[in-house]
Amino acid sequence: MNTILSSVRILKQALAEQRSCIASVYGHARTLVETLPGTEPEFQTCLEEIPDSFYSTRKNIFSTLFQSTYQLLDIAPARRHLYGQMIHLFRIWVTSADNLLDDEDKIVLPVQMPGSSHVMRQVVALMAADRVMNCILDEAVRGGVIRQGHLLNISRRSLQVLLPSAAQEASEEAGVIERPDPEYVLRTIHKLKTGILFNIPFMGPEIVEDKIDSGKMAQLKTALLDFGLGCQLLDDIRDMARDYVEKRHNYCLSALFTEHPEAYRALSLSAASVEDRLYQKHAAVVLPAARRGIGLLQSALSVLMEMGLGISAAQTEFMSRKMFSVLDLGDLDYA
């Protein structure tokens, strides 16, 4: 994957642009999360040094893919920089919210605070990201990149585009009582949970760009939606045990419930833990899901190839299959 992102011209440029956008976001955040002079030393906060890993190819595969679409749409560099910063802000919002919901600590904004501060660090990250967006939008208006009216619309829409995904997450907080049809999980639940997040890169261009090829953008949106659904299918394979224990929607669990009810009922007697590799025991539903996931990934990348991304058919297949190791499924024999 690293070789492709460093050798394909558009992807190489997109990765460089995204790293610049990330650095800009952290630069703004650094000035925002410092406590005022005179604060007692034990209660001061600041932004820690940003690890080099935050800029790595592996951590920015999706963002690089998103950033590349701006070149395919012939968007000017200054606005690509603005939209790329917003991509990273959305990552902070979504990851910090997930951390709060799932009691995790995947750090995307390393705020240094007293104690372990797991919850409050996520809260501060969310608030800081909101202020950073105000800063970058103000800069864009002052620099003539966007108009004042664009600023207001982007600010409003940045929340609205996340609300359906937030509502879906809210519907699972009390736990899933019944397993719906797997197609409903894929085309409704996962479209809201993950698919629309892969369309977030187009929020800014839809508001600002008045000379964009709308047909081309629609094709790119569909392709990235499919890419997101393909990734979510692979996530569902990996997270079968966790989603069973935590009573969350899962395509494979719904398929097992619908197609192999006895095997599903046996799960209640297995004392599964969230760390189990449950997918290794249910090939009848896992392998079709894996093949469907890779099919969605390949078809999405094929569309990007046809639209000028600069990758070959062989590279689309390689990149699709590489997602298994990227998403921690390297031990799955899905051939």
- Rounded Cα distance between 79 and 209, Å, is 9
- pLDDT tens digits for 234-243? 999 999 999 9
> What pLDDT band is residue 334 in, cutting at 50, 70 and 90?
low
CB 223 within 8 A of CB 257: no
Q: State mean pLDDT over 179-205.
A: 95
Overall pTM surpassing 0.85 (yes/no): yes
Please tell me which residue, 273 or 63, carries the higher pLDDT value. 63
Give counts: helices (H), strands (E), the chain. 16, 2
For tokens 């999980």, name the residue.
Answer: 185
pLDDT tens-digit profile of 151-181? 999 999 999 999 999 999 999 988 998 999 9
Phi and psi angles of residue 124, each rounded to the nearest 5 degrees, phi first: -65, -40
Quote the crossing angle between the two packed helices 283-306 and 214-238, to the nearest 10°.
160
